[in-house]
Structure 1
Amino acid sequence: MYQGLETFVEQVSIVDEKAWFNKRLPLDVRVQRVKLRHGARCRDWRDTMEDSNVQAFPDWPLKGPRAASWCIDYLNKQPGGPQDHHQLWKTQSKIQNSDWGISEHDTLMQILQHASSYDQLDVCNLASFEVLLRRAQTIEYCYIEKSREISNVGQGKFGPRLSFEEQTAFMGVVRSDMYMVAPALLSHIKDTVKEDAELSKNLRLAREERANANKAGNKNKNKKGDDE
């Protein structure tokens, strides 16, 4: 008894503390346990990745692969957090604040930082943040050509000029660390665009065939009228 109340005590080792909390006090998979620092809500960026647990949802509303987890892992490998990534990406790509999408990208990274550090959400399980991170990837993808130009500077003077893809192949990677675009999402987009292009092509051919058939039919009608 403690202060007149029945009390249950269980001894748990520090090593098993996280597993114990998850078992005894399960949370909604969209949030993480609140961490405090000097009495204020604060979670280090790297804790976000370590404590993240991606869950499958049968009614997930978005098409294509879920890329939020890949983005969090990517940012976790970079120095600092989302806002540091924004500054690093902008500097390495030699992009100006006035360029298209840069202020939006900065805002998206600030939202992600606050969501993980203060709100302490598991953004990998939130469709809203999947959309947010896809938008951030879209902006970075738009500047890939800029990255290609920078990576090719100085080549061609002393030897053969290698393409951006050839350089990344030599390094054993499929993308440049200069920008955040999930390979699985990029493959999905390419396949979708290809399918849309094929569909548009087939529809155009069908329209042309119908137009030619109608034109041929009109000619036959006119010819019959002349013969009569």
Structure 2
Amino acid sequence: MLTGRFALLEYDVPGPIVMHERMILDHVESDDYVVCTPDRDLFVEQLTVENSDLRSFRLRPQPHQLPPGVPLGRVYALPAWNAGEIAAIKDEARRLAQAEKAQRGLAQAGGVGPPLGPPVPVATAVLAEAGSGGAGVHQLTPGVPTWVAAEAAGGFFFGQVVDGVQSPAVPLSKAVAATKLYEMGWKLTGPRTAQWCLNYLVVEGLGLEAHHERFRQLCRLDSAAWGVQEHFQLSMMLRQLLQVDCYNGCNSMGIELMFRRLQTMEYAHSEKARESEPRLAGGKLALEEQYVFGSVVRHAGTLMIAPALQSHVKEETEREVLLAKNLRKAKEERELAAKKGGKKKDGKGEDGP
């Protein structure tokens, strides 16, 4: 769900590149949302790369913060509305969303139903599920959103208040305060990269669908290029598994294999991205060299390829090359020894008296 976020849309039109900011106000269905433009126009728009009107769209990582690679001069940003104006915009967006849902047959029979009541706070939901005698329940205040443990793991029990979460507590929202890798006995060679990839996506701030679009732009690929359609389908599968089904992406072998495949395809096209880097960044140094000189850890500026996986592939490839080289040399030595032995038997290879 993108409600409450701010999107930057690049329309597929000729002329200079302009990123139009949209305030995402309400959800209609699927990828359709009610948005507000800088001119205060409200309408329903499809926020996905499948929208043929868009060349790309990105999300602000935080309000007033631009995603990597988007210069401020190209953004047609929203104005600084006051609290009263924002409240009026949200009220208008709610009515527009209800009318659109009714037109699509998504509302209650007979027209738009009554407005929903206030959401149930997290603390109240935990109280109802755990019961009045559950451990840690006495620490919760009904009606006050509180971060609590959703399961008994990592030294926490269900319903226990979790301190140190940086995000503000919002009713019905979820957050992962800490993760831990467990040995699962997988028959998988090389490092586990899912956690690295998830951290990369958080730093990048785009999400899986927009990351796919960025991968295409960096490598200058069209939809018919090798691996592009598979990259998109795997990205959509991962989005549903992680955001809808709420799988633990750090401890799922299937998700690890999906991330491995995504990294394989991005690595296969990485040379195309490197070829354009000096022209984009200026000078003759690659971006990796510039980041090393500046002592900066480069996350959002590269493709999604875990360094540990690259090192593993390099070591395994070098080992196989060395093995093949040794086998070839051993074969040559055996063939040479066989030739010398044949000459001695014929008396042609012996020294004279």
- TM-score (ref. length: structure 2): 0.50
Aligned to 2:218: 92
Amino acid at match of 1:112: L
Task: Check whether the contact 1:92–1:178 (CA below 8 A) recurs between aligned residues.
Answer: no
SS at match of 1:17: coil
* Corresponding residue of 1:39: none
The structure with the greater share of residues assigned to helix is 1
Structure 1 residue 184, shift from structure 2 partner: 1.1
Residue 11 (str. 1) matches residue 151 (str. 2): no
Q: 1:197 aligns with which of 318, 321, 335?
A: 321
Q: Percent identity?
A: 33
Letter in 1 for 2:340: A
Question: CA distance change for structure 1 residues 75 and 43 in 2, over 3 Å: closer, same or farther?
Answer: farther
Higher RCO (C-alpha 8 Å, min separation 6): 1
1:123 aligns with 2:254: no
**1:4-59 CA distance string (max 9 Å, x none):** xx963532335462277654459xxxxxxxxxxxxxxx988xx4xx3562322162
Match for 2:311 among 187, 212, 215? Answer: 187
Tell me which amino acid in the other structure corresponds to 2:227.
G
Residue 78 to residue 189, structure 1, CA distance change in 2 (3 Å): same
Distance in 2 separating the partners of 1:19 and 1:154 = 46
Contact kept, 8 Å, 2:149 with 2:157, in 1: the verdict is no
Q: Distance in 2 between matches of 1:68 and 1:155?
A: 29
Structure 1 segments of 4+ aligned residues over 6 angstroms from their partners:
none
Distance in 1 (CA, whole Å) between partners of 2:148 and 2:297 is 38
Contact 1:93 1:178 (C-alpha < 8 Å) held by counterparts: no
Secondary structure in 2 aligned to 1:72? helix
TM-score by length of 1: 0.75
> Per-residue displacement from partner, 1:55-109 (whole Å, max 9, x unpaired)?
2216232111111000001011223311111012212332111111111111110
Residues 1:166 and 2:289 aligned together: yes
**Alignment correspondent of 1:177:** 301
Determine which of 62, 76, 86 is the counterpart of 2:188: 62
- Say which of 302, 320, 330 aligns to 1:206: 330
Letter in 2 for 1:169: V
Q: Which range moved further: 75-84 or 112-121? A: 75-84
Query: Distance in 2 between the 1:141 and 1:187 partners?
Result: 13
Partner of 2:67: none
User: Within the alignment, does 1:146 sit opposite 2:272 as a pair?
Assistant: yes
Please tell me whether the aligned partners of residues 193 and 256 of structure 2 are also in contact (alpha carbons under 8 angstroms).
yes
Give distance in 2, aligned partners of 1:95 and 1:73. Answer: 25
2:341 and 2:173 map into 1 onto residues whose CA distance is: 73
Q: From 108, 111, 124, give the equivalent of 2:237.
A: 111
Secondary structure in 1 aligned to 2:206? coil
Q: 1:136 aligns with which of 235, 256, 262?
A: 262
RMSD: 3.1
| 3-state DSSP of counterpart to 1:18 | coil
Per-residue deviation, 1:166: 2.1
Unaligned stretches of 5+ in structure 1?
Answer: 1-5, 27-41
Once structures 1 and 2 are overlaid, which stretch shifts more, 90-99 or 105-114?
Answer: 90-99
In structure 2, C-alpha distance between the alignment counterparts of 1:175 and 1:194, rounded to whole Å:
26
